[in-house]
Amino acid sequence: MGAAGPARAALRRRLLLALGWALAAAGAKVLPPPSNLDFSFVQICTLNWTWTAPENVSSSCNLEYSSDIVINEVPQDKREWSKSLFRVTDMFLSEEMRFKVRSECKYDNTSEPSRWVETSVRPKGVLGTAAMDLECIWHNLEYMDCRWFAGKNARSDTKYTLFYWYDGLKSPKKCSNYSVHERIFGCIFNLTFPKVTNTYPTISILIKGDSEEIRPVCASKNPTTLVKPATPKTVRLSKVNNDIHLEWSKSDTFPANCLYYEVKYHNSDLNTPQIIKVEYNHTSIPSVDPNTKYTFSVRAKPKPECYSSKLHSDWSEEKSIGKKPDSTLYFVLIITIPLIVAVSTIILLFYLKRLKILILPPIPDPREILKRMFGEQNEDSQTCAKDDSVNAYNRLIKEEEIHSLVLTETLECSYSENENR
C-alpha cells in the first residue's frame, strides 16, 4: 500500500506527459485567456472579481473558467470552475491577495487551457498593526461577543473599530459596545434571526484602526460554529418515592429539539461526579439513598443536526437535596476529646504526686535528726542555766527590797513612839 501511491502518481504523470505530446503532435490549440480582470467591493470584506470572455473560441468548446486564490504566495486550495464571468470571494486586507483565472474547454482533448490571468490587492497600513487572534461567540442566539488583541507594532493608544455585515443587512453596521483591558479589545453587538430558519448567513467582520497606519483586517464567521447556549436556570429538585426528579428552564431563543443537556450529580459519599446526557429539560435519578445528600448541576449543548458548534453553556448553580450526616458533632468530639485527655492527665499526675508523698513519705537523714536533737538539748541547758541565774538575782533583789521595807517601817514606828512620849 505504501508504494502504490507513488507508483500511481508516476503513472499519471507519464500519461499526462504522453497526452501533452500527443496534443502537441496533433497541433492542439491553446485557448485564449480571459481579459479585463478586475474587482469591486460588494460589502466589507467581500470582493467581486469580474472578467471578459475570450474571443475566437470554438462553439464546440464547453467553455468554463477556473479561478484560484493565492495569499502571500501560498495557494489556498479554493479553486473553482464556473461558466459565470465573475466570482465573489472573501477579502484578506491584512495580507497580499492574488486572484487568477483561466479558460478551459471541459471534456475536450483538442485544446489546452489558457494561461493564467492575475491581479492582486495589496494591504494598506504598517505591518504588525492589524488586530490579531479574532474570536467571536454567539451567545444564546442573541448577541455576538468578539474579542481580539492589539497588533504587536500598534501604539498603546490605538483604538479599533469593528464593522459587521451579513446577507439581509442593507449596509454594514458599526459596533458601539466596546471594552478594553490590557490591550485586549472586545465588542458586543446584537445578532438574531427567526427561529424558523434552517440556514444562517456568513458574518463578515472588518476591524480597522483610528489612523491610516493601522492595517485593517477582515474575517468571515460561520455563526453556527460559534453558538453558545445560555446557562440553564431555575433548577428544581423533588423526591418522588425513592427517585429524585429534576427540572430546569429551557431556552426561548433556540428552535425546538436543537439543544440537549448534561446533568452532573454526586452524593456526599463520592468525590467523583457522574454525568448523564438528557434530551429534554427534565430527568429522574432512580433508587437514591434517602439518608444521603445529592448535589446537581446542568449545562446545555447545541445538537449537531442544528449547529456545528462545539461550545456548551456554563454549569448551572449547584442545587442539593437530602440530608447530609451532621459533621458538627464529629468536629466537636475531635477537638474536645484530646483536650479532656490532656487535662485529665495533668490533674492525675498532680494528685498522684501528692498521694505518693502521703503513702511513701521521704525518709529523714539520721544525721540531721541527731544534730537537731543534741542542738536543742544544749540550747535548753544553756537557757535553763541562764534562767536560774536570772531568777536567783531577781530573788535577791526582791529580798533586799523586802528587808529595806521592813527596816523602813520599823524606823518609822520607833520615831512615832518617841514623839508620843
C-alpha cell at 289: 439513598
Residue 406 in any domain: the answer is no
Look at the block and give the residue holding cell 490579531. Answer: 132
269 in the same domain as 246: yes
Does 406 have pLDDT greater than 50? no
The tens digit of pLDDT for each residue in 272-305 reads 888 999 999 888 888 777 778 888 899 999 999 9
Query: Can you give the pLDDT at residue 129?
Result: 93
Which SS3 state, helix, strand or coil, does residue 28 take? coil
116 in the same domain as 22: yes
50 in the same domain as 77: yes
Domain boundary among 267, 300, 321: 321
37 in the same domain as 109: yes
312 in the same domain as 247: yes
CATH of the domain at 311: 2.60.40.10
- Please tell me whether the overall predicted TM-score, pTM, comes out greater than 0.95 for this model: no
- Residue 405 binned pLDDT confidence (cut-offs 50, 70, 90): very low
Does 238 have pLDDT greater than 50? yes
Give the closest residue to 35 by CA, choosing from 19, 55, 20: 55
216 in the same domain as 233: no
Residue 211 in any domain: the answer is yes
Mean pLDDT of 391-406: 52
104 in the same domain as 30: yes
Sign of CA dihedral 360, 366, 371, 372: positive
Which SS3 state, helix, strand or coil, does residue 149 take? strand
Look at the block and give the residue holding cell 478594553. Answer: 180
Residue 380 in any domain: the answer is no
Query: Can you give the pLDDT at residue 12?
Result: 53
Give the closest residue to 155 by CA, choosing from 125, 177, 134: 125
Domain boundary among 268, 290, 321: 321
148 in the same domain as 114: no
- DSSP label at 224? G
**% of the chain beyond a pLDDT of 70:** 73
Mean pLDDT of 213-238: 91
Strand partners, 65: 82, 103
28 in the same domain as 106: yes
Mean pLDDT of 9-22: 49
- Of these ranges, 28-37, 80-89, 321-330, 374-383, the one predicted with the greatest mean pLDDT is 80-89
Strands 274-278 and 29-30: what pairing? unpaired
Q: How far apart are CA 376 and CA 226, in angstroms?
A: 111
Query: Can you give the pLDDT at residue 370?
Result: 67
201 in the same domain as 152: yes
Q: How far apart are CA 40 and CA 104, in angstroms?
A: 24
Query: Can you give the pLDDT at residue 374?
Result: 65
Query: Can you give the pLDDT at residue 361?
Result: 65
Residue 97 in any domain: the answer is yes
User: Could you tell me how far CA 42 lies from the centroid of its own chain?
Assistant: 41
Residue 234 in any domain: the answer is yes
The tens digit of pLDDT for each residue in 241-270 reads 878 888 998 888 998 889 999 999 888 766
Give the closest residue to 23 by CA, choosing from 105, 116, 117: 105
Higher pLDDT, 288 or 84: 84
- DSSP label at 169? B
C-alpha cell at 236: 428544581
Mean pLDDT of 149-158: 92
Query: Can you give the pLDDT at residue 390?
Result: 47
Q: How far apart are CA 180 and CA 188, in angstroms?
A: 12
Domain boundary among 171, 192, 227: 227
- Residue 400 binned pLDDT confidence (cut-offs 50, 70, 90): low
The count of other CB atoms within 10 Å of the CB of residue 165 is 21
Residue 173 in any domain: the answer is yes
- Alpha-carbon distance values, 340 to 329, 331, 334, 345 (Å): 16, 14, 11, 8
- DSSP label at 223? G
First to last CA, the chain: 185
Does 414 have pLDDT greater than 90? no
168 in the same domain as 158: yes
Query: Can you give the pLDDT at residue 399?
Result: 54
- Residue 11 binned pLDDT confidence (cut-offs 50, 70, 90): low
**% of the chain beyond a pLDDT of 90:** 40
233 in the same domain as 212: no
Give the closest residue to 312 by CA, choosing from 294, 324, 297, 323: 297
Contact 50, 40 (CB under 8 A): yes
Q: How many domains does the chain have?
A: 4
Query: Can you give the pLDDT at residue 177?
Result: 93
Residue 279 in any domain: the answer is yes
Query: Can you give the pLDDT at residue 166?
Result: 92
Q: How far apart are CA 24 and CA 175, in angstroms?
A: 59
Contact 406, 414 (CB under 8 A): no
Does 15 have pLDDT greater than 60? no
Residue 376 in any domain: the answer is no
User: Hey, what amino acid is at 185?
Assistant: F
Query: Can you give the pLDDT at residue 241?
Result: 80
Mean pLDDT of 307-324: 87
Strands 117-121 and 132-139: what pairing? unpaired
**What is the domain range of residue 60?**
18-121
